[in-house]
């Protein structure tokens, strides 16, 4: 029963983790672009999306992405991008000494956030 509770998708995950700043630049059915800023200690916890991919683009700082299925670790610097396919668990961390600012493009499809912790 507990594992089923953890895997319940939500339509808005903003209440599940703290960030320094969150702004939405574009939101339309099936696609959105958000800008997030993480402090040195903040993370976007383990999760996946059922129907959409995440495309990360780093503006400032250093991002470290941890991924499963298959296991992978990626470091992104300003100007780098990385696509996480639908259904692939991932965790986003700030790997630098300053704030991390990045764009996340999500789509194409219905957004959900499925927490794994």
Could you report the per-residue pLDDT of 75-94, keeping only the tens digit for each? 999 999 999 999 999 999 99
Whole-number average pLDDT of the chain = 93
Considering the four listed CATH numbers 2.60.120.10, 1.20.140.10, 1.10.1040.50, 1.10.3720.10, the one that applies to the domain covering 2-115 is: 2.60.120.10
User: Does position 3 have pLDDT exceeding 90, yes or no?
Assistant: no
pTM of the model: 0.90
Query: E strands along 1-117, which residues?
Result: 21-28, 31-38, 43-48, 53-60, 63-67, 72-76, 81-84, 90-94, 100-107, 114-115
Give the start-to-end residue ranges of the domains of the chain.
2-115
Question: CB of 103 within 8 A of CB of 35?
Answer: yes
Question: CB of 38 within 8 A of CB of 99?
Answer: yes
Specify the residue for token string 């789509």: 107
Torsion of CA 45, 85, 82, 15, to 10 degrees: -30
């Amino acid at each position: 029963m507990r594992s089923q509770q953890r895997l319940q998708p939500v339509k808005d995950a903003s209440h599940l983790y703290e960030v320094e700043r969150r702004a939405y630049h574009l939101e339309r059915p099936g696609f959105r672009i958000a800008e997030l800023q993480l402090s040195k200690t903040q993370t976007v916890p383990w999760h996946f999306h059922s129907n959409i991919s995440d495309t990360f683009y780093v503006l400032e700082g250093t991002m470290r992405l941890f991924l499963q299925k298959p296991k992978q670790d990626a470091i992104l610097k300003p100007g780098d991008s990385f696509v996480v396919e639908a259904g692939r668990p991932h965790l986003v961390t700030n790997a630098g000494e300053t704030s991390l600012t990045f764009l996340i493009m999500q789509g194409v499809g219905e957004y959900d956030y499925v927490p794994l912790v």
